[in-house]
Structure 1
């Protein structure tokens, strides 16, 4: 069986949402440990400029491209500049994502639309811009779409985010079938990434509510920040994702408890049980 180094080493990776968290961890591991040339895409110009300077010290080529994945034309320009500057893409990581806390009926329309545009439309824009180019290349390539443990579970006060990650997972499962149906399954590998608790700034920057039960939304944010305190280092998660991808897995998991959540979801659907409030470390403090 091939190793991650054999499959990805020396290739080109493009990572959206690369300025922090999982995206930055993937970029660091790809460049530092695998010797990949990397295109860093994010709306935070300063963050990806600093990361570019860091990664270039490892002797790889790096582009930093300010790109809002909500804008299809901007993602198309990202594809054009990546291929022109670094060459054919071996790994596309549709990672950019945001959170939203609060009761669904309190969620601002602008917050809902922002999350859908980034978490769902952004993945579609990445596929639309990059996948035809990747299918046209003879070499092996990979598409990773970031779902989440939230893509196989349900949680109150995070409905927009949970919904979006279910959508990304379903999109990725369908895309895997479509790539195979179109005759590209032997050289274009579609995989779903399901992080559990991995350190990032997504909870701090999550959308809030303007009115309604503001306290419930902020208590949930505080609960998620407590989880972050024990979260996995993004570099460790990146290593696991790359290793599982090299082994040919479809679902790339950061931690074993993500598999437990998948099994729990399957059991709920099999027995047609109504969703119940979570307990334990993912429970919401009483208000």
Structure 2
């Protein structure tokens, strides 16, 4: 069986939301450990510029590009620049995402629309912009869409995020079937990434509520930040994801407890159990 370095080394990786968290961890691992050329896409130009300098100092090749994944034209420009300046894409990672805390009825409409545009439409725009060229290339390539353990569970006070990750997982499962149906399963591989607790700044930057039960929203943020204190390092998560991808797995999971949550979800659906209120802080280690 091929190793991650054998499959991905020397290729081009495009990572949206590369400025921090899982995106930055994937970029570091791809560039410094696998020898990939990494295209760093993010709205935070300072973050990706600094990461590019770090990767280049370590001997990796990198390109930083400002891209707002809500803008389909911006994502198409990202694809054009990547092809022109870096070459054909071996790995596309649709990673950009945001969080939202609070009761649904208190959630500001603007926060809801922003989250949908980034977490769901951003993935769609990435597929539209990059996948046709990947299908046309004779070499192998991979498409990773960032879902979450939240895609196989339900949790109060972060319903918009949870819902969006369910959508990304379903989209990815459908895309996998469509690539096969179109006759490209042999060289274009679609995989769903389901991180558990991996350190990032997503909880600090998450939207909250301006009216209604603001206390509940902020208490939930605090609970998530406590989970972050024991979360997995993004570089370690990246290694796990790349190794699982090289093994040909479809569901790429960072920690064993994610698979436990998947089993619990399957049992709930199989036995048509009423969703149980999730309270407290779930375990984040194997």
Q: Calculate the TM-score normalised by the size of structure 1.
A: 0.98
The equivalent residue for 1:107 is 107
SS of residue matched to 1:281? coil
SS of residue matched to 1:206? coil
- 1:42 and 2:42 equivalent? yes
- 1:187 and 2:187 equivalent? yes
SS of residue matched to 2:230? coil
- Contact 1:42/1:68 (<8 A) preserved: yes
- 1:14 and 2:20 equivalent? no
1:114-153 to 2 correspondences below 5 Å:
114-153=114-153
For residues 217-241 of structure 1, give each alpha carbon's deviation from its aligned partner in whole angstroms, at most 9, with x where no partner exists.
0000000000000000000000000
The equivalent residue for 1:66 is 66
For residues 224-265 of structure 1, give each alpha carbon's deviation from its aligned partner in whole angstroms, at most 9, with x where no partner exists.
000000000000000000000000000000000000000000
CA distance in 1: counterparts of 2:58 and 2:188, whole angstroms: 28
CA distance in 2: counterparts of 1:57 and 1:225, whole angstroms: 32
Large movers: runs of 4+ above 6 Å = none
CA distance in 2: counterparts of 1:126 and 1:179, whole angstroms: 15
How far apart are 1:281 and its partner, in Å? 1.7
1:193-212 to 2 correspondences below 5 Å:
193-212=193-212
SS of residue matched to 2:19? coil
CA distance in 1: counterparts of 2:131 and 2:269, whole angstroms: 32
Gaps of 5+ in 1: none
- Contact 1:61/1:86 (<8 A) preserved: no
- 1:168 and 2:168 equivalent? yes
CA distance in 1: counterparts of 2:265 and 2:191, whole angstroms: 20
Q: How many equivalent residue pairs?
A: 283
CA distance in 1: counterparts of 2:256 and 2:153, whole angstroms: 15
For residues 121-143 of structure 1, give each alpha carbon's deviation from its aligned partner in whole angstroms, at most 9, with x where no partner exists.
00000000000010000000000
Aligned Cα RMSD in Å? Answer: 0.9
For residues 166-213 of structure 1, give each alpha carbon's deviation from its aligned partner in whole angstroms, at most 9, with x where no partner exists.
000000000000000000010000000000000000000000101000
- Contact 1:26/1:235 (<8 A) preserved: yes
How far apart are 1:282 and its partner, in Å? 3.6
